[in-house]
Amino acid sequence: MIIREVTIDDYKDIRNLNKNALGYDFPLEKTKTQLEKILTGKGAKIFGAFVDDKLIGYVHIADYECSFNDSLKNIMGIAVDPSYRKQGIGRALLTKAETWARDTGAAGIRLVSSVGRMEAHKFYEAMGYTSKKEQKNFRKIFRS
């Protein structure tokens, strides 16, 4: 397995992981557009895990700045192909994200996980993360 930063050429595989591993059926072209924004912006990285040039997992980590906390990084998403789970892929990806966070001066990492993702919660706890609070996620969408 190789871990490297993803490129725009990986957008189809990222879309498939989002759908198959996370349940997010986001359109392919919109995935490409969003990935272009992320990859050309500052303060974020997406690291991918590859086996034989196939993307089998990724972690998206970005700056988290606010006026009431030290600078953190935020795990925006982490996904591993279901057929590759329980093989250390998620651990390797999260470790890579943590290394990048430390190297860029972050005080720590935060992440938000849906209440129903119990296996993911066990994984995060095994990686040393602690649950701070339960919360609701509110949105107001301006366009479709």
- Would you list the domain boundaries of the chain? 2-126
Architecture of domain 2-126: 3-Layer(aba) Sandwich (3.40)
pTM: 0.92
Task: Write the burial class of residue 10 (CB in 10 Å: 0-12 exposed, 13-18 middle, 19+ buried).
Answer: buried
Element housing 7 (H / E): none
**Share above pLDDT 90 across residues of the chain, in percent, rounded to a whole number:** 89
Task: Write the burial class of residue 56 (CB in 10 Å: 0-12 exposed, 13-18 middle, 19+ buried).
Answer: buried
Query: Could you report the per-residue pLDDT of 14-34, keeping only the tens digit for each?
Result: 999 999 999 999 999 999 999
Of 81, 2, 1, 93, give the one whose Cα is nearest residue 46.
93
